[in-house]
Structure 1
Amino acid sequence: MNPISIVLVRPRDPNNIGACARAMGNFGLSDLRVVDPYEPVWRESVSAVGVNDIMQQAKRCATLDEALQDTAFSMASTAIKNREIKQEIVPLPSLNERLQVAPEGRVALVFGNEKSGLSGEDIERCDVVLNIPTASKQPSINLAQAVILTCYELSRRPGFKAIRHPGQAPEAPTDAQKEIFISSADVLFEKSGFKTDFSSDQRKALLRHMLSRQGLSREQLFFLKKWADKLSSKLP
């Protein structure tokens, strides 16, 4: 897969920069480039939770040309309403398909500032235009939102590996452990005087069926057994 750089052009709000960095971290990206940031303290954004490394390693560039000098392919993210676009326009849902036929090398995804977006000159400097489909009455989108949507779309690429893996599934109880609980529960039924139309064997069969459907972990089943035993011990 082509390495990806996120390029922010003249961003005004440090917290938006931090939110963009956080979005990158969520979806496994790390190369952030900031062109002529408005605030000198942008690296200290409080919104960059858990991604201080991305902020500290971000490359500060004086111009968009500098930010793109080592890239092989660039995409300008912009709304297309009231713009005269000369390049190919790639809708966000087609991003990964388009990247499959992009030149080998680093890809830059370029985003404009919060107030006015990318200039016409910025857009023309890029190879193609990336457009996030929106309602016609509200065609523009917040900078950080645009970055997180784009990063999410990138995460759907074949071969993408998430940084944060879901935890392992809890260990399921064995059949023997289920039977121990069922016996404890049946004792509680008897001692509590709980009346049903079921025999002891029928109650146990019903509990087995319930346990097979609930997908309890060993820890959860152990808790239920302790609860049943405790109640039983309080009964004559």
Structure 2
Amino acid sequence: MSVRLVFLRPRNPENLGAVARAMKNFGLSDWAIVDPRTLDFATARRVAVHSEELLDRPRVVATLDEAVADCAWVVGTSSRKVRGKRRLLPEEVAREAAERAPAGLTAIVFGDERSGLTNEEIDRCHDLSAIPSLGEQPSLNLAQAALVYCYEVRARATSGRPPAPLPVAATDGELERLTASLRDLLRDGGFLAGPERHAVKDLVAPLRRARLSGKEARLWIAALKKVGRRPA
């Protein structure tokens, strides 16, 4: 399945073990751990019943950028409402991930157990998703939340006809390079004379929603750089 689970700053080794078990339950194997606050994989293994092999090969990286650079769609799990970002149910994420699978990898990003995703991390995500829990107890345990998404991804992957082939989608890394090229051009042209605020993010948002192919993103980058090199 073309889905990667990304866990930011996990603190509890039992959670990692339970996540590994949930992934094995529903056939997922691609995951990345960003800046872990625990490396107690021995404790995690005691919870990862019949799923210990997943704890032998997690991709441990330092930053969210590293974890999602090769992904075409990045979804952050947060109940916050953020301008310009869709807020999807888990089943909607799974359905769209299945549709996007021929074009590229989807990352589902989980924040740390205490405070979730930071503002900067939410900005890095293309869309957001939340599990509709009750108001008196809105937060879920990290492994419980991961299990819900694992189930939905599996259910969508095994239902219905396979989607029609799509062009290979632009990766998050390519979209970030496009954003940087646009930012440089706008600064050189005087459009960004002061603090950036939301200008670049708002201008790039329609391009992210358009699901650019890798070829289209590279063409945008080349065009922006070419225009930026023209003499004033």
TM-score (norm 2): 0.63
**Partner of 1:73 in structure 2?**
73
1:107 partner letter = T
Q: 1:101 to 1:158 in 2, by over 3 A?
A: closer
Retained in 1: the 8 A contact 2:5–2:31? Answer: yes
Q: 1:58 to 1:158 in 2, by over 3 A?
A: closer
Q: CA deviation at 1:71?
A: 1.1
CA deviation vs aligned residue, 1:95-149 (integer Å, no higher than 9, x gap): 2332245371111111011111111111111111011111122222110000001
Greater CA radius of gyration, 1 or 2? 1
CA deviation vs aligned residue, 1:61-111 (integer Å, no higher than 9, x gap): 10111101111111101122xx54541111123223322453711111110
CA distance in 1, matches of 2:31, 2:137: 27
Structure 1 position 95 matched with structure 2 position 116? no
* Aligned-residue RMSD, C-alpha: 1.8
CA distance in 1, matches of 2:20, 2:123: 25
What is the 5 A alignment of 1:210-221?
A: none
**Partner of 1:109 in structure 2?**
108
**Partner of 1:131 in structure 2?**
130
Retained in 1: the 8 A contact 2:98–2:156? Answer: no
Aligned to 1:117, the other structure's residue is in SS state coil
Aligned to 2:91, the other structure's residue is in SS state helix
Q: 1:102 to 1:15 in 2, by over 3 A?
A: same
**Partner of 2:25 in structure 1?**
26
**Partner of 1:50 in structure 2?**
50
Structure 1 position 153 matched with structure 2 position 122? no
Moved over 4 A (4+): none
Q: 1:13 to 1:155 in 2, by over 3 A?
A: same
Retained in 1: the 8 A contact 2:91–2:153? Answer: no
CA distance in 2, matches of 1:76, 1:64: 11
2:5 partner letter = I
1:31 partner letter = D
1:127 partner letter = H
CA distance in 2, matches of 1:131, 1:18: 22
2:104 partner letter = G
Q: 1:132 to 1:67 in 2, by over 3 A?
A: same
Aligned to 1:114, the other structure's residue is in SS state coil
CA deviation vs aligned residue, 1:31-89 (integer Å, no higher than 9, x gap): 12100110122365121111111111110010111101111111101122xx5454111
TM-score (norm 1): 0.62
CA distance in 2, matches of 1:51, 1:121: 33
CA distance in 2, matches of 1:38, 1:49: 22
Aligned residues: 157
Structure 2: give runs of 5+ residues left out of the alignment. Answer: 160-232
Structure 1: give runs of 5+ residues left out of the alignment. Answer: 161-236
